[in-house]
Amino acid sequence: MEMELDPDEVFRDDEDDPEAEAVRESASTKELSVYLVDASPRMFLAQSPSGHDKDESYFHVAINCVVASLKTQIINRSYDEVAICFFNTREKKNLQGSDGVFVFDVGDRESLDRPTAKLIKELSCLEETFAKEIGSQYGIVAGSRENSLYNALWVAQALLRKGSAKTADKRILLFTNEDDPFGKMKGAYKADMTRTTLQRGKDAQDLGISIELFPLIQPNIEFDVSLFYADLIGIEDDDIAQFISGVGERFEDMKYQLRKRMFKKRIVRRLTFSIVNGLSIEVNTYALVRPLVPGSVVWLDSVTNQPLKIERSFICADTGALVQEPTKRFFPYKNMNIKFSVEELADIKRVSNDQLRLLGFKPLSCLKDYHNLRPSTFIFPTDQELIGSTTIFIALHRSMLRLQRFAVAYYGISSHPRLVALIAQDEIKDVGVQVEPPGMHMIYLPYADDVRHIEELHLSPETLAHQASEEQINRAAALMKRMDLKDFSVCQLGNPALQRHYGILQALALEEDDLPEIKDETNPDEEGLSQPGVVKVIEQFKHSIFGDRYESSRSASDEKRSEASKKRKANAENALKECENYDWAELASSGKLMSLTVADLKCYLMARGLPLSGKKEDLIGRIKMDLRK
């Protein structure tokens, strides 16, 4: 928990994790997306006429999804560029001058640009002014040759012309509740419009733009992808059922879908996995779980608010001369400075032939809960360079699952060589949606010196350790049954500190006066805990352990604590008295502080409630600082 060491740097990880680096955003791997939202009158129908949900229109749901997605993007991938584009609108606003298409913009932002706080803010309250400013209107009507969908794709494609397909992923995210856009058309008109629109879509895809569909489904009415969209986005017949089952009905489902599909899979590394002598396969690694940390801090000039350039220089401590960055390092040992070159240090760390080397297999029970050091890395096979890799991987995966074994391997990359466990994870699906992908998870194992023997720290040979009785265990079990979190999953809870962090930033970026209230979902369910049934099992458990002594045992230790605090108080009072013996300002200005003892100096600090740590020089420095105030 490095945060305790430095509470200010709350999320900073003390390790240089190259893998974390690799997954962190960078300008070179950005994505360009156009959110293409249907604004036809049909989208403004209430989502559930039956009224079991709030009366939210489809349009409202779509906008909320886009806002949520933008908020994630601005935090995680702020180099991504986005555009918001509506079609089936009354007004038109686009460079091509196409009817029924409205590109939404704010202020000094380009149409396709990095998401800003202002964009998110204005988009989230767009609905209030939508009817007035933009307006909703069917863009494809019988008897007219207008094709708003075609226009929309054309505009989106034009927006995405920026940037080369090689360096940026480009996509169009299409939100609609109309499964048959040309349904009202007849005969040759329909065929013709369908054909041209599909051709438009194909052209876009040929330019490296992918089109993703987010259908908004009406209750009890199927969104029939096969009518039109299957052809547009290119899904095969077999996959249609799967596609549809993966689409949720509710807003939450939609948001989840969007989040899942928002981020392109990124390969952290490609590894050669040596199975036996002469047989290696190739795998890709992915970082599926990494602590999300707030974006980096930059130093600004407080007058101009302009970022400052940081200049690093190396100074020889002996001569004070400016030097180049040295290539030698040293380590004091046996009263000598033992020197190593940077290459030698790299050599020392290179302990293995292979990137990933299989050593053998163990039953899953051998992997203990304390065999963990850092977040796991996911492994999935690839046949891109070595054909046959996937087959071997699947065979191993199946055997390991069946035999309940994990593989032990040596992960030999020179930046961080480690012994690792590879756990086979079977695919888990929930209502057709993949919850856990199939593959292996690489768990970084500790070495002997990384494991501490705390259990034996407090044993006393004279007395046996107290072990709960059968009755006490039963009471605990009863308590567990009452306090069960049904279907707990790690994805449920948001990080309140992070949400607060970005809430504040968003408010400040928008120059709002009120800071947002952040709901801390991580607090215990107080209501649940006060239910009579729960209170009862807790009391029973408590009684079985403590009898009637619970209160007394607590007050006893509270007393101990209050004694300690009394002592501290007395010390501080004493210090206050002691420090009155000196004229500190006088001592400081005449430079006589050095002649006082450390104990005297600490009296001052204690009386002023300042930290007592450090060398004498530090103490004096701190006192001087304090006097200057």
Partner 1 sequence: MEGEAGFSRFSCSTRSPSTGLRLPGYVSASPQFFLFSCGRELQKAPSFLTPCQNQENGSHFSSSLVGVSVSEASWRSFPPLMARNKEALVVLLDVGPSMHHILPDVEKICSILAQKKLIYSKYDEVGVVLFGTEETENEVAKEVGGYGHVFVLRNIKVVDGDLVEALKKLPRGTFCGDFLDAIVVGMDMLIKKYGLTNKGKKRMCLITDGCSEIKDSHEGSKEDQVNIIAEQFTRYGLKLECIVFRGSLRPDANETVMAENDRILNVFPKKTYAKTIYVENPTSLLGAIKTRNIFPVTIFRGDLEISPQLKIKVWVYKKSSEEKFPTLKKYSDKAPQTDKFATHEVKVDYEYKNHENSIKYVPPDQRIKGYQYGPQVVPISSDEWDAVKFKPDKGVKLLGFSDASNIMRHHYMKDVNIFVAEPGDIGATLAVSALARAMKEMDKVAILRCVWRQGQGNVVIGALTPNLSDNDLVADSFFFNILPFAEDIREFTFPSFSNLPASVQPNDDQQLATDNFVQMLDLGPSNNRQEELLPDFTPNPVLERFYNCLELKAQNPDAMVPPLDKTIRRITEPDAELFARNKSIVDAFRRRFEVKPNPKLKKSSKPPGQEKPSGSDDEKVLHDFPTLNVIDTTGIKTAAQVEKIGDLTPIQDFEALISRRDSPEWVNKAIKEMSNKIYDLIEDSYRGDNYPKALELLEALRRGCILEQVLNLLPAHCNVLLKSITSNTFLTSIAILS
What three-state secondary structure class fits 135? coil
Q: Angle 9-10-16 (CA atoms, 0-180°, nearest 5)? A: 70
Measured from the CB atom, is 12 or 608 closer to partner 1? 12
Query: How far apart are CB 370 and partner 1 at their closest, in Å?
Result: 4
Measured from the CB atom, is 188 or 310 closer to partner 1? 310
Query: How far apart are CB 65 and partner 1 at their closest, in Å?
Result: 16
Instruction: Name the residue with tokens 């779509």.
Output: 62
Measured from the CB atom, is 388 or 614 closer to partner 1? 388
Q: With the CA atoms of 577, 581, 586 and 589 taken in that order, what torsion angle do they form, in degrees rounded to the nearest 10?
A: -70
d(CA 420, CA 411): 6
Measured from the CB atom, is 199 or 337 closer to partner 1? 337
Measured from the CB atom, is 212 or 578 closer to partner 1? 212
Query: How far apart are CB 159 and partner 1 at their closest, in Å?
Result: 18
With a CB cutoff of 8 Å and minimum separation 6, the contacts of 568 are none
100 neighbors 88 (Cβ within 8 angstroms):
yes
Measured from the CB atom, is 39 or 423 closer to partner 1? 423
Determine how many CB atoms are found less than 10 A away from the CB of residue 28.
8
Q: Angle 488-378-82 (CA atoms, 0-180°, nearest 5)? A: 85
Give me the long-range contacts of 536-545 (CB less than 8 A, separation at least 24).
537/475, 537/478, 537/479, 537/481, 537/482, 537/483, 538/479, 540/475, 540/478, 540/479, 541/472, 541/475, 541/476, 541/478, 541/479, 544/471, 544/472, 544/475, 545/468, 545/472, 545/475
Query: How far apart are CB 349 and partner 1 at their closest, in Å?
Result: 5
Query: How far apart are CB 427 and partner 1 at their closest, in Å?
Result: 5
d(CA 283, CA 397): 13
Measured from the CB atom, is 198 or 545 closer to partner 1? 545
Query: How far apart are CB 530 and partner 1 at their closest, in Å?
Result: 8
d(CA 285, CA 270): 6
Query: How far apart are CB 208 and partner 1 at their closest, in Å?
Result: 20
Map 507-569 to HEC letters: HHHCCCCCCCCCCCCCCCCHHHHCCHHHHHHHHHHHHHHHCCCHHHHHHHHHHHHHHHHHHHH
Pairing state between β 439-444 and 433-436: unpaired
Q: Angle 312-315-316 (CA atoms, 0-180°, nearest 5)? A: 155
Query: How far apart are CB 197 and partner 1 at their closest, in Å?
Result: 28
Query: How far apart are CB 39 and partner 1 at their closest, in Å?
Result: 25
Query: How far apart are CB 424 and partner 1 at their closest, in Å?
Result: 10
Measured from the CB atom, is 9 or 583 closer to partner 1? 9
**Sign (positive/negative) of CA torsion 67, 71, 77, 79?**
positive
Structure tokens, 371: 């065999």
Measured from the CB atom, is 477 or 594 closer to partner 1? 477
Measured from the CB atom, is 237 or 311 closer to partner 1? 311
